[in-house]
Structure 1
Amino acid sequence: MTGLLLGEVFRSAARAVPHRTAAVLGERALTFAGLDAAADRAAWFLAAHGVRRGDRVVCLAGASLGAAALFAGAARAGAVFVPVDAGAGRARVAEVVRAAGAGLLLTDAARAEAGARLARSSAVRHVVLPDVDDAPDGRTAEQPEQPLDQTAEADPCVIVFTGSGRPRGVVLSHRVCVLRTHPGCRPERNDVLVCGFAPGQWSAWAALLRQWQARGTAVLLERPDPVAICAAVRGHGAERLVCAPGTWRGVLDTAPHHLASLRCADVEATGPPAAAPGLLEDIRTATPHARVRAFLTSPETGDVAVLDHADARRRPDSCGLPAPGTEVRVAGGELYVRGPLLCDGYADGKEAAARDGWFRTGWPAAAEADGHLCLQTDSAAYEAAERAVAPSP
């Protein structure tokens, strides 16, 4: 790689393992060489529609190979990719699109009519995502690839909206995205991953990028509910599965016998409460050959803490040890985070961290003498989190 650039992740993988499968969706599959070529076509597609360096493009689409190509192509073109969860509800989606300050809205064909209406009401242009095999505006394979020299590591490449109230747009640079998903932060195997997050969530794109940096295969799901997840793990013989705590509970209640192939079972909680103390034990029972881990993370901070199943047995009150690359402290009963994985601010221009580099999470916590972090969360909060099992249709 020539730098910490998102587009270079795909270029590097295509050079190293061109014929290895990068993504699978239903009966279709895309190799790393194919994904890299599709990213080039997506970059030219955006350029043909007037997108320039720093422009924000909103993607309102389900899981698709075209969306994966757009994710890589937007980075390669110097644009800022803004994923939107289509299951969040019409009013919420419209609010996010307006807050993004984007000039272009891209949808898949299934959402073309809704996208056109939303574009008119939000005063943005609307375009339907092309198929990954389509060349935009007559460009042929003989034309030169989209140049990368217009993009810098500090440039924003993703804005992820979060929060239950007013949408909060978290800005992530190329450097932060690549560092957060580097195999050194979460040691990964280059085998088959099933992603249990909806495509509009940053956790989904982080999981995919993490898998592609490890040069492994990712299985995409149009609607990652427990039934579809169990079927995908069994059908592909997947060795890895990552889900939110509530989704994991639904998977265990649906078909735990389909999880026999797993060698790595990750629980990812985006903010408190962390994984319930008994959940890791239940996952371990269903996947006796897997390494079971729980991650506490957020769009602003990246991974904050990681808890292995063995530690969970010994320390059921803990959410884990500080994650690699992250510095933490507890002051006044609140958890502070600092390090190179912090976001680059917010979409409205506000800074996220204080002048000394510390970000206030707002999470009540305690730090133990052995380094473990403990969130001050009662059992009712754990139960409420686990009731949110599947994404909205």
Structure 2
Amino acid sequence: MSTGFSQGQGDLTDGFVPFPADRAATYRHAGYWTGQPLDSILSNAAARWPEVTAIVDAQRSYTFAELDAVADRVAARLAARGLQAGDRVLLQLPNTTEFAVAFFGLLRAGVVPVMCLSGHRSAELSHFAGISGAVGLVITDTAAGFDFRAMAAQLQRDHPQLRHVIVDGDPGGYLPWSALTDPGADGPATAPVRGQFDPAAPALLLVSGGTTGLPKLIARTHDDYVYTAVASAREYRMTSDDTYLVALPAGHNFPLACPGLLGAMTVGAPTVFTDDPSPENAFALIDKHHVTVTGLVNALAKVWAQACDWEPVLPTSLRVVQVGGSRMTAEEARFILDNLTPGLSQIFGMAEGMLNFTRPGDPVEVLLHTQGRPMSPHDEMLVVDEHGDAVAPGEEGELLVRGPNTINGYYRAEEANARSFSAQGHYRSGDRVRIFADGPLAGHVEVTGRIKDVIHRGGETVSASDLEEHLFAHPGIYAAAAVALPDEYLGEKICAAVVFSGKELTLAELHGFLDSRGVSSHAKPDMLAGLPSLPKTAVGKVDKKQIIALLGSS
């Protein structure tokens, strides 16, 4: 196993779709884009609030000054080992303070982190490594019975350029994380001097929800991501008196910058990390650290609201609870509002950029019946029919968007870009919405469904077609369809409706097969339904609506 470093593959901007010059000039003139590097969020906070706690988990905490110093140390030691500005590194760490240390250490070295999620496995990471040309991987040793080091060995065999494997915990022959962070370890402690810097270049690569095939990479620039963090913190009226709780996977756009960790830093507010979002653990942390703001997926928010009936410690300090990830009914919103917090905020956004949310102080009617209004005055939203023509005001259709923090194309994905972006540069969200045209809800968005074939399971977006490809690969499956069925806790659960070619499989046997193919933990079916045949539409396509109706009534 190698702990050395190699030069990255391909220029960072190869396959990056920048903002058009005229729109970029507009956003700069409006003051949205300030030309600052993304890691300046930390350096600015360290200068203003050096002794204030920046991040904390169950094991340790860092002040802003301490976090700034350790980020410098990590950056210096990465550079000393040969890592260069513009290189890409896969970042897959759990919800701990070391996630933030690694994130800022990479940024400060000029390295672009690829924000992998804890549930991703070799299928996804191999895909990300191939697209990004990543030269490194930062992982934990083991979690939930999974050995990430064994996965790293497989990835290195498949991607020879992936030579920097850094492990937090037992390194197992790889480079220990402590070699980069510990003050007493060998190596420099001062970050390399930043060379020529382009704020319009990619700062990080997020991953898409994977609406068709494997997830795509989303290049977010320094300019647009700083704006996202600053503006969302402002709209939620965050101050240094707030404390943010990262309860969702930290690599998600939602807890990272909407306002999340980065937004909290812009106002000098601490961030608490936890990898256990159960009510018992989360409520105790909220009480201990006086948490005021957090973001949850709908299913988790309902569990928290229910738990308020029996948990001895209640989350009374919460000022704002953002809830998103899948469509929420007015009844669900009322339940959360009445039982968990009066500070409910519905949020509808995407890692591709655009954010809508309800604000503190909005009328109850807005909180219950809408997913808010755009974050930016320069967000442009179009609602179109199946032919791409604008619908009448207040009518339903697919949402197309562009704006100062919405990408103009996926990273190194020309075919996907041809499908996902209009000729005018609008991103086709795949969401069915209406924008209220008049009355008290005017200008607010209601999400009514979706266009793309995806399943929203517990806040994760799972591509039905990608899962179906894995199902088709099993020799015992003749035909398969992945469909969403309603679930009280997950929002939607994944059902694999299959026609067996021989002996029926059990769900456990299917999971074992999918594990062998490196399928993410969150993308495996919750339910396996054997059918004699799959119903078809008049044009010969699998009729998923009929499958859902059949299974829902059985």
TM-score when normalising by structure 1 = 0.87
Name 2:223's counterpart in structure 1.
175
Give, in angstroms, the shift of residue 315 of structure 1.
Answer: 7.2
Q: Which runs of 5+ in 1 are unaligned?
A: none
Mapped to 2, the partners of 1:213 and 1:175 lie a distance apart of 14
Give 1:155's aligned amino acid.
A
Name 1:118's counterpart in structure 2.
155
Give, in angstroms, the shift of residue 221 of structure 1.
Answer: 0.9
Is this contact kept in 1: 2:245–2:273, CA < 8 A? yes
Equivalent residue in structure 1 for 2:350, among 298, 302, 305 = 298
Mapped to 2, the partners of 1:84 and 1:355 lie a distance apart of 30
Structure showing greater Rg: 2
Mapped to 1, the partners of 2:136 and 2:188 lie a distance apart of 24
Say whether 1:334 aligns with 2:398. Answer: yes
Say whether 1:345 aligns with 2:409. Answer: yes
Mapped to 2, the partners of 1:301 and 1:312 lie a distance apart of 26
Name 1:249's counterpart in structure 2.
302
Give, in angstroms, the shift of residue 260 of structure 1.
Answer: 1.1
Name 1:286's counterpart in structure 2.
339
Equivalent residue in structure 2 for 1:8, among 40, 51, 55 = 40
Give 1:313's aligned amino acid.
E
SS of residue in 2 equivalent to 1:82: strand
Give 1:368's aligned amino acid.
F
Give, in angstroms, the shift of residue 168 of structure 1.
Answer: 0.9
Equivalent residue in structure 2 for 1:217, among 270, 286, 295 = 270
Give, in angstroms, the shift of residue 95 of structure 1.
Answer: 3.4
Give, in angstroms, the shift of residue 135 of structure 1.
Answer: 4.3
Give, in angstroms, the shift of residue 230 of structure 1.
Answer: 2.4
Mapped to 2, the partners of 1:3 and 1:317 lie a distance apart of 37
SS of residue in 2 equivalent to 1:258: coil
Give, in angstroms, the shift of residue 8 of structure 1.
Answer: 0.8
Give, in angstroms, the shift of residue 319 of structure 1.
Answer: 2.2
Give 1:195's aligned amino acid.
V
CA offsets, 1:22-66, max 9 Å, x none?
A: 100103100000111111112123213322122110012212322
Name 1:151's counterpart in structure 2.
197
Mapped to 2, the partners of 1:115 and 1:98 lie a distance apart of 14
Question: Over aligned residues, Cα RMSD in angstroms?
Answer: 3.1
Q: Which runs of 5+ in 2 are unaligned?
A: 1-32, 143-147, 169-176, 386-396, 451-455, 457-483, 494-519, 523-554
Q: Which stretch of structure 1 is more off in the superposition, 87-96 or 322-331?
A: 87-96
CA offsets, 1:55-111, max 9 Å, x none?
A: 110012212322211211222222111121122344334433434321111112433
Give 1:188's aligned amino acid.
M
Q: Which stretch of structure 1 is more off in the superposition, 127-136 or 330-339?
A: 127-136
Give 1:28's aligned amino acid.
R
Name 1:265's counterpart in structure 2.
321
Equivalent residue in structure 2 for 1:358, among 399, 417, 426 = 426
SS of residue in 2 equivalent to 1:86: coil
Q: Which stretch of structure 1 is more off in the superposition, 325-334 or 73-82?
A: 325-334
Give, in angstroms, the shift of residue 217 of structure 1.
Answer: 0.6
Say whether 1:166 aligns with 2:219. Answer: no
Q: Which stretch of structure 1 is more off in the superposition, 348-357 or 54-63?
A: 348-357
Q: Percent identity?
A: 24
Q: Which stretch of structure 1 is more off in the superposition, 255-264 or 59-68?
A: 255-264
Mapped to 2, the partners of 1:136 and 1:120 lie a distance apart of 33
Is this contact kept in 1: 2:208–2:216, CA < 8 A? yes
Correspondence 1:1-393 to 2 at 5 A:
3-110=35-142, 111-123=148-160, 124-125=162-163, 126-129=165-168, 130-131=177-178, 133-135=181-183, 138-141=186-189, 144-164=190-210, 165-182=213-230, 183-190=233-240, 191-206=242-257, 207-255=260-308, 258-269=314-325, 273-287=326-340, 290-306=342-358, 310-313=362-365, 316-325=368-377, 326-332=379-385, 333-350=397-414, 351=417, 353-369=421-437, 370-377=442-449, 383-384=486-487, 386-387=489-490
SS of residue in 1 equivalent to 2:449: coil
Mapped to 2, the partners of 1:47 and 1:204 lie a distance apart of 28
Give, in angstroms, the shift of residue 245 of structure 1.
Answer: 1.2
Give 2:254's aligned amino acid.
S
Mapped to 2, the partners of 1:382 and 1:292 lie a distance apart of 26
CA offsets, 1:254-305, max 9 Å, x none?
A: 3465211112221133xxx4333223322222345x4221110101123134
Distance 1:146 1:239, change over 3 A: same
SS of residue in 1 equivalent to 2:68: helix
Q: Which stretch of structure 1 is more off in the superposition, 321-330 or 215-224?
A: 321-330
CA offsets, 1:185-229, max 9 Å, x none?
A: 543233211122113323232211111112111100134344432
Distance 1:303 1:286, change over 3 A: same
Is this contact kept in 2: 1:9–1:213, CA < 8 A? yes
Give, in angstroms, the shift of residue 362 of structure 1.
Answer: 2.0
Q: Which stretch of structure 1 is more off in the superposition, 321-330 or 64-73?
A: 321-330
Mapped to 2, the partners of 1:44 and 1:261 lie a distance apart of 39
Mapped to 1, the partners of 2:492 and 2:276 lie a distance apart of 12
Mapped to 2, the partners of 1:249 and 1:389 lie a distance apart of 13
Is this contact kept in 1: 2:112–2:204, CA < 8 A? yes
Give 1:170's aligned amino acid.
I
Distance 1:345 1:77, change over 3 A: farther
Mapped to 1, the partners of 2:380 and 2:331 lie a distance apart of 27
User: When the two structures are aligned, how many residues end up with a matched partner?
Assistant: 386
SS of residue in 2 equivalent to 1:71: helix
Give, in angstroms, the shift of residue 307 of structure 1.
Answer: 6.0
Give, in angstroms, the shift of residue 2 of structure 1.
Answer: 8.0
Mapped to 1, the partners of 2:354 and 2:81 lie a distance apart of 32
Give, in angstroms, the shift of residue 114 of structure 1.
Answer: 3.5
Distance 1:87 1:340, change over 3 A: same
Distance 1:327 1:33, change over 3 A: same
Is this contact kept in 1: 2:141–2:149, CA < 8 A? yes
TM-score when normalising by structure 2 = 0.63
Mapped to 2, the partners of 1:292 and 1:330 lie a distance apart of 26
